[in-house]
């Protein structure tokens, strides 16, 4: 997934369809030019829907298609004919998409289930034809209702990736390399800051044909919650992950301190992130001998941990076992 092809935030302008007007037609028959009302109802204006597409994982398709309009309903006509409904329009979005009011930022809805469909903007109701207003005291009503107007709304669509496990760490901690060796994902890997510029997803195969989804989140830096580095742009993706796998390399100057900085950044961004299950993975452990490993263990935080190496594949099965175990703790 390249930087160009991954879009997780877009503002669109939506407009539902206007309801068709009811008809005020008076029936005309031989010998009676005013035989009574027979005006039909107007058709409903088209809705604007959000529809889940589990094959999508970006909002790129909306970047150049930001105006979404449904069709108007058709007016009612004689012989109590109801006007046709305006065509609805569907906006396909990835699972994990949130819709917010473009003016206030208020939450509208979220799409999290496969094939889920929700009305984003309602079409106007069609007006009632004059036949609905006939009564014993008003045998020939000459009026009908207009259809309800269109609704125009600016909407912010925001994607928060759905994954079982989110990889959290500083740039070059080894997150992308880990994802590339435990799944079929092929993230861009390089020895420079912010190699990962977009989230990457990988399906990790586990025992007995089971699996879980792992997300490589772009590297966090100190001050990310204030918007530094890639900052707020990607921290929100972590909100969807029930398990956070913190990756700290074995050659870090202070593994405990680096872990604490990462936790603090998440806390400053959203304190609820501290309620998530945590695992510490110490990457690049092929450069450690048994004595160094023993010393490092003395100062590790009180969370489940594992030393591993993506280069030599050391303890990768142990890491997957630990993730699976923590993921399924009630």
Q: Across the 330 residues of the chain, what is the mean pLDDT of every consecutive 10-residue run?
A: 62 98 86 77 98 87 92 96 97 93 95 95 97 90 95 93 85 85 63 51 87 80 51 68 93 93 87 91 93 92 95 95 91
Nearest residue to 22 (alpha-carbon basis) of 182, 193, 189, 143 = 143
- Is the pTM here over 0.85, yes or no? no
Q: Are 280 and 259 in contact (CB under 8 A)?
A: yes
Residue with tokens 């989110």: 166
The values of phi and psi at residue 176, to 5°, are -65, -40
Domain residues of the chain, as ranges?
9-159, 165-327
* CATH class of residue range 165-327: alpha beta
pLDDT of residue 194: 39
**Residue 42 is encoded by which pair of tokens?**
């107007």
Q: Is 113 exposed, middle or buried (0-12, 13-18, 19+ CB in 10 A)?
A: exposed
CATH pick for 9-159 out of 2.60.120.10, 2.70.210.12, 1.10.10.10, 3.40.1030.10:
2.70.210.12
pLDDT of residue 32: 62
Give the C-alpha distances (Å, rounded to integers) separating 204 from 2, 12, 184, 198, 220.
21, 35, 8, 19, 23
Largest distance between two CA atoms of the chain: 109
pLDDT of residue 197: 52
């Amino acid at each position: 997934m390249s930087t160009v092809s991954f879009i997780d935030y877009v503002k669109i302008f939506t407009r539902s369809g206007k309801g068709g007007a009811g008809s005020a037609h008076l029936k005309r028959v031989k010998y009676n030019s005013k035989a009574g009302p027979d005006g039909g109802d107007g058709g409903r204006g088209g809705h604007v829907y959000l529809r889940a597409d589990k094959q999508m994982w970006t909002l790129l398709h909306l970047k150049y298609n930001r105006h979404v309009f449904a069709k108007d309903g058709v007016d009612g006509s004689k012989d109590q004919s109801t006007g046709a409904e305006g065509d609805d329009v569907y906006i396909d979005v990835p699972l994990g998409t949130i819709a917010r009011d473009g003016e206030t930022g208020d939450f509208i809805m979220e799409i999290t289930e496969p094939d889920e469909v929700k009305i984003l903007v309602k079409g106007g109701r069609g007006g009632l034809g004059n036949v609905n207003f006939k009564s014993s005291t008003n045998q020939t009503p000459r009026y009908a209702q207009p259809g309800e107007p269109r609704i125009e709304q600016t909407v912010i669509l925001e994607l928060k990736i759905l994954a079982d496990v989110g990889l959290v760490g500083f740039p070059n901690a080894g997150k992308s390399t880990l994802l590339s060796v435990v799944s079929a994902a092929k993230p861009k890997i390089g020895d420079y800051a912010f190699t990962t510029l977009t989230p990457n997803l990988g399906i990790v195969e586990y025992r007995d044909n089971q699996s879980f989804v792992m997300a490589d989140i772009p590297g966090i830096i100190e001050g990310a919650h204030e918007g530094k580095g890639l900052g707020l742009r990607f921290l929100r993706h972590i909100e969807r992950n029930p398990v956070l796998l913190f990756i700290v390399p074995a050659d870090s100057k202070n593994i405990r301190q680096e872990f604490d900085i990462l936790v603090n950044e998440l806390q400053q961004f959203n304190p609820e992130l501290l309620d998530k299950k945590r695992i510490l993975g110490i990457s690049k452990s092929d450069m450690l001998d048994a004595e160094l490993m023993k010393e490092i263990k003395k100062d590790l935080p009180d969370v489940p941990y594992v030393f591993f190496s993506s280069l030599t594949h050391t303890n990768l099965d142990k890491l997957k076992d630990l993730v699976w175990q923590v993921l399924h703790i009630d």
